[in-house]
């Protein structure tokens, strides 16, 4: 799919889904005497994904990646910005057109224990989308459910079971089958395996990859697990406090990342290899992520950045093209910045 030339926009043709300058601010109600405040969950996020492509969005809790997922599939209304599906603006759709849109755009949630209603059988959970959108005639629904179950690696005997009778991995497969029932073109995967056991994670990831090959689905893959992201994605966006700080092809990001935060994040991720772990120099950031209620002025990362300078506190850097990628840092691209840390 990649044609060899590094691209910052989606590889392989026109984007199927595009997000432009998305902003989401939540008000939190103040007390009687304290004014209400705003949580800056997303501040101007732009990205796109092409057919059959996987775009990973990584970051720590509070960086806005889950809000992004929920805004994209229109579970939340963005404060400003646009979401385009196949070129059509879907940001303000409501009612019937919004329900129609749901077909193309699906989500798989993190916790398969919470995302399936315990009161309904697997057959009705997977059959719901078909019923609601009139995709499959009533009499043929069970057959279609069975074939979807088979697609996700479960037998037809699961049809009449209830979620509590299934293991975490099996439930996640059901959740995926439910999303597939709509024949979507984009699936937002919000930490789809982080609630699962290691050996089960591999099963689900392999399933997602197989489905992508088979149906050409585009994934927006939200995760905090960097080694997983490096494995599954074509491009990766690193988020910090509601902004993208670096957006690059995964292959390029594996070699090297240019934003100091990406660098710290990538170096902090544990690697299942004791020799590599011993050889590697970790950058351990001081402190915690600042509150998204009052994000730091200037560069949002400057309070924790090991290379900060006076300018960083004063002036907010823009996301700009550096080499083969986009980076939000004043100094990225200067020779020897950021200092190399890993072999």
Q: Pick out residues in 119-138 that bind another protein (CB under 8 A).
A: 119, 128-129, 132-133
Indicate which single residue of 30, 143, 270, 339 sits in contact with another protein (rule: CB under 8 A): 270
User: Residue 55 and residue 65: Cα distance in Å, rounded?
Assistant: 12
Stretch in the footprint of another protein (CB under 8 A) among 3-11, 276-284, 294-302, 314-322: 276-284
Tokens standing for 212? 């992508």
Q: Of 228, 223, 175, nearest to 69 (Cα)?
A: 223
User: Residue 337 and residue 65: Cα distance in Å, rounded?
Assistant: 27
Indicate which single residue of 52, 169, 242, 338 sits in contact with another protein (rule: CB under 8 A): 169
State in angstroms the smallest separation of the CB of 34 from another protein: 17
Query: Order of strands, edge to edge, in the sheet holding 15-28?
Result: 37-50, 15-28, 80-85, 88-89
144 near another protein, judged by CB under 8 A = no
199 near another protein, judged by CB under 8 A = yes
State in angstroms the smallest separation of the CB of 340 from another protein: 18
Indicate which single residue of 70, 173, 235, 328 sits in contact with another protein (rule: CB under 8 A): 70
224 near another protein, judged by CB under 8 A = yes
State in angstroms the smallest separation of the CB of 226 from another protein: 7
Query: Which residues, in sequence order, are bridge partners of residue 80?
Result: 23
Q: Please report where in the chains the tokens 């990205």 appear, as a residue.
A: 47
Residues 6 and 249: beta-carbon distance below 8 Å: yes
Alpha helix positions (H), the chain? 65-72, 95-102, 122-133, 141-151, 168-180, 198-215, 226-232, 250-255, 260-268, 274-279, 310-314
For 294, phi then psi, to 5°, come to -125, 80
Residue window 278-317: x/- pattern of binding to another protein, with contact defined by CB under 8 A: ----x-xx-xxx----------------------------
CB-nearer residue toward another protein: 9 or 276: 276
- Restricting to residues 42-61, name those near another protein by CB under 8 A: 60-61
Q: Please give the size of the binding site for another protein, defined by CB under 8 A.
A: 71
Stretch in the footprint of another protein (CB under 8 A) among 32-40, 82-90, 176-184, 292-300: 176-184
């Amino acid at each position: 799919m990649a044609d060899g030339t590094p691209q910052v926009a989606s590889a392989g043709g026109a984007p199927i889904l595009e997000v432009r300058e998305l902003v989401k601010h939540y008000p939190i109600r103040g007390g009687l005497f304290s004014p209400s405040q705003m949580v800056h969950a997303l501040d101007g996020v732009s990205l796109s994904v092409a057919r059959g492509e996987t775009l990973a969005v990584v970051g720590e809790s509070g960086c806005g990646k889950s809000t992004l997922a929920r805004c994209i599939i229109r579970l939340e209304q963005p404060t400003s910005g646009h979401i385009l599906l196949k070129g059509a603006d879907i940001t303000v759709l409501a009612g019937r057109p919004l329900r129609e849109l749901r077909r193309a755009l699906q989500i798989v949630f993190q916790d398969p224990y919470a995302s399936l209603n315990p009161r309904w059988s697997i057959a009705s959970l997977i059959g719901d989308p078909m019923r609601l959108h009139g995709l499959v005639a009533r009499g043929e629904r069970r057959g279609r459910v069975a074939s979807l179950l088979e697609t996700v690696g479960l037998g037809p005997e699961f049809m009449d079971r209830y979620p509590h009778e299934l293991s975490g991995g099996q439930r996640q497969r059901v959740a995926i089958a439910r999303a597939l029932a709509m024949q979507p073109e984009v699936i937002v995967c919000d930490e789809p395996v982080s609630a699962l056991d290691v050996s089960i994670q591999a099963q689900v990831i392999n399933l997602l990859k197989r489905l992508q090959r088979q149906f050409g689905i585009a994934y927006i893959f939200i995760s905090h697990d960097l080694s997983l992201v490096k494995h599954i994605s074509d491009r990766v966006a690193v988020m910090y406090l509601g902004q993208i700080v670096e957006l690059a092809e995964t292959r390029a990001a594996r070699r090297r990342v240019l934003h100091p935060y990406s660098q710290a994040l990538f170096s902090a991720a544990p690697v299942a290899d004791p020799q590599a772990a011993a050889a590697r120099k970790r950058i351990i950031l001081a402190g915690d992520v600042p509150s998204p209620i009052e994000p730091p002025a200037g560069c949002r990362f400057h309070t924790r950045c090991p290379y900060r300078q006076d300018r960083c506190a004063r002036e907010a850097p823009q996301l700009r093209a550096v080499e083969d990628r986009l980076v939000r840092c004043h100094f990225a691209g200067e020779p020897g910045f950021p200092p190399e840390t890993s072999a």
